[in-house]
Structure 1
Amino acid sequence: MSKDLLDQIPVAFTEPLESFLAWLELERGLSANTLSAYTRDLVQCVEFLVEAGVADWQQVASADVAAWTASLSRAGFARSSQARKLSALRMLAKHLVRENVRKDDVTELLGSPKLSRDLPDVLTREEVERLLNAPSAVSPHGLRDRAILELFYSSGLRVSELCGILLQSINLDEGYVRVFGKGSKERIAPIGSAAVQAVRDYLVGGRPHLVKARTGSEVFLSQQGRAISRKMVWVLVKEHAKRAGIKKPIKPHLLRHSFATHLLEGGADLRVIQEMLGHADISTTQIYTSVQSQRLVDEHALYHPRAKK
């Protein structure tokens, strides 16, 4: 898909952009999904520049970049999307200087959209219990779905990490799984006893029924015997949440948020939670302290006799 996008823009822009994307992949180890997002963002920028009469990267001025960012705001892009697009362009601008394509960083004087961080939704412990018990405990698909949900909640995995787990990456005797997170960074994620049992049940009574002639070593399989897709995981999480009577907006990441919040409520150290989640920056993990603080405020407002106005 990235190559198709690059074919849409002039060669004068394409060659430095291809060099930058190759550097991101080889030196920074960014995932294919992240590279695709950066490609879309930067091609969008180039299309704007070409329409404004700019011929190549050397001709781009700060005013051109400022005009592009202003156009994003007018087009109604969320601030988070604007920030991501600008971040991609900043990284490219630095690369162009390193490669002597330009002498200056054209984005140096630009500000960034101010972001407000929305607190993530989380499930209560009772909602988690209902969700985990929703799949069948006997059918192959039910055993698979239960193992997926248990592992999500037990280990705080991203959906892409869960879909990529291999049989040789999981150690049920020791209670851990090796996963590859953002930027292909490997980490060890612990697995609780309930999730260990659910995965064992699936490997014995579920996975053998889903294996086909060309099945690989992925743990979680589709009906066709291939690695389960992120889209399929999204669908099954929503289906079981509906079956469990959960009214909150549901997505796989909700169990990851619940994992972190419930650990924090139980007294776990924030640095340990950061390591379990695979966050590169502690500030990303700190949002869960805000979730806990907001919950305390809500509980106080609901139950304290002098809280109500």
Structure 2
Amino acid sequence: MTAELVETGGGEIAVAVDLPPLILDLTRAWLWSFDSVNTRQAYERNIRRWFDFCAETGLDPLEARKPHGDVFARWYAENAPRPPAPKTVAQLLAAVSSWYEYLHETDAIDANRFKKVKRPKIPRKHSETVALTKSEAQDVLREADRDHGREQLRTSAVIRVLLQVGLRVSEVVDAQIEDLGFARGYRTLRVMAKGAKPLVRRLPVETVYALDLYLAERARREGVEMKDLTGPIFVTGPGRPWPRTKAWEMVRRIAKQAGIQSKVGPHTLRHTYASLALDGGASPRQVQLDLNHEDLATTEIYWQARDRLEKDTSQLVASQLE
């Protein structure tokens, strides 16, 4: 087997199997057909896993059939660091099928035989992510505000943007100084939401205060006026863009310091935003718009993920049997 490199928006992927130059070029085009960098990176990782499987089993990807896809799903589940969630496996298979569909649509292959590979069933209204309670969310904010180290102000600002505005972590780390603005007397933040859609969000006073403290300190370090700052809002100590992986690590650390035992990530804070907004009287439609959900059913999932624990009728039944 020879190694080729396929350049993508997310970097490079090592192809562990021999593929004709035309297929390599089409793979590049397929990856670039997705607007979102995050989507390109996710599909890049998943197609790499498929190529790894093909290399390990001696399979020519262009000769793959439905049974190979079925075996691949089991191979991935058994070789993953931890048992993957059904949704993860389904997304993996969907990515590979998308690649074959692109090759078919460009007449590189005669059919997408991967299309009928059996995928795990994902309940429409199911989510593994559970929102924090109001008390837990308050604990996270307090812990962020008293974080230690030179990046304490950044921690406080990021946690508030995630929790009080409900943005995706990619939207936060990609936000630029020039995206901060004013509209009708409100401080705003313009983000590029999922699907390459521009979205302008109003910032709460508490979030603005934390942001201003952080940006004032950042300007002092860089030796410029706050109005002269440029580039990403959130940066590393040396002033480089702050990686999304570091944001994940920070959120998990703060949640742990706040005494929350369950696994918490940036998306947990987004779920919490939706849950608290609905609990506070916001309409599902308004929360849907704030979170840039295409389907209202997605917004309902965020609420029900926590509600199904609070409203579980097991306690009602058990109390009647005492």
Q: TM-score, normalised by structure 2?
A: 0.79
Counterpart mapping for 1:246-261 below 5 A: 246-261=260-275
Q: Which residue of 2 aligns with 1:40?
A: 45
Of the candidates 191, 208, 218, which is equivalent to residue 219 of structure 2? 208
Is the alpha carbon distance of 1:93 and 1:153 closer, same or farther for their aligned partners in structure 2, counting shifts above 3 Å? same
Is the alpha carbon distance of 1:72 and 1:219 closer, same or farther for their aligned partners in structure 2, counting shifts above 3 Å? closer
Q: How far has the Cα of 1:83 moved from its partner? A: 0.8
Aligned equivalents of 1:239 and 1:53: distance in 2? Answer: 42
The structure in which a higher percent of residues are strand is 2
Of the candidates 10, 33, 36, which is equivalent to residue 18 of structure 2? 10
Structure 2: tracts of 5 or more residues without a match:
none
1:110-160 alpha-carbon deviations (Å, 9 max, x no partner): 332123534422222222223223324998633322221211112111112
Q: TM-score, normalised by structure 1?
A: 0.82
Aligned equivalents of 1:15 and 1:170: distance in 2? Answer: 44
Of the candidates 82, 92, 103, which is equivalent to residue 89 of structure 2? 82
Q: Sequence identity, in percent?
A: 24
Question: Aligned residues, how many?
Answer: 302
Q: How far has the Cα of 1:104 moved from its partner? A: 2.1
- Alpha-carbon contact 1:119-1:291 (below 8 Å) kept: yes
Q: Which residue of 2 aligns with 1:29?
A: 35
Q: How far has the Cα of 1:52 moved from its partner? A: 5.0
Q: How far has the Cα of 1:302 moved from its partner? A: 6.1
Of 185-194 and 81-90, more deviation after overlay is shown by 185-194
Paired residue secondary structure (1:5): strand
Aligned equivalents of 2:73 and 2:19: distance in 1? Answer: 23
Paired residue secondary structure (2:200): strand
Q: Which residue of 2 aligns with 1:144?
A: 154
Q: How far has the Cα of 1:279 moved from its partner? A: 2.8
Q: Which residue of 1 aligns with 2:276?
A: 262
Task: Report the AA paired with residue 159 of structure 1.
Answer: V
- Alpha-carbon contact 1:181-1:278 (below 8 Å) kept: yes
1:252-308 alpha-carbon deviations (Å, 9 max, x no partner): 22221110111121232223222222333433322123235324415x766999467
Aligned equivalents of 1:296 and 1:72: distance in 2? Answer: 35
Aligned equivalents of 2:140 and 2:56: distance in 1? Answer: 51
Of the candidates 174, 193, 199, which is equivalent to residue 181 of structure 1? 193
Aligned equivalents of 1:84 and 1:67: distance in 2? Answer: 16
Is the alpha carbon distance of 1:166 and 1:51 closer, same or farther for their aligned partners in structure 2, counting shifts above 3 Å? closer
Is the alpha carbon distance of 1:197 and 1:100 closer, same or farther for their aligned partners in structure 2, counting shifts above 3 Å? same
Aligned equivalents of 1:74 and 1:140: distance in 2? Answer: 42
Structure 1: tracts of 5 or more residues without a match:
none
* CA-atom RMSD in angstroms: 3.2
Aligned equivalents of 1:138 and 1:72: distance in 2? Answer: 40
Q: How far has the Cα of 1:60 moved from its partner? A: 2.9
Q: Which residue of 1 aligns with 2:165?
A: 155
Q: Which residue of 2 aligns with 1:195?
A: 207
Of 283-292 and 79-88, more deviation after overlay is shown by 283-292
Q: How far has the Cα of 1:105 moved from its partner? A: 2.2
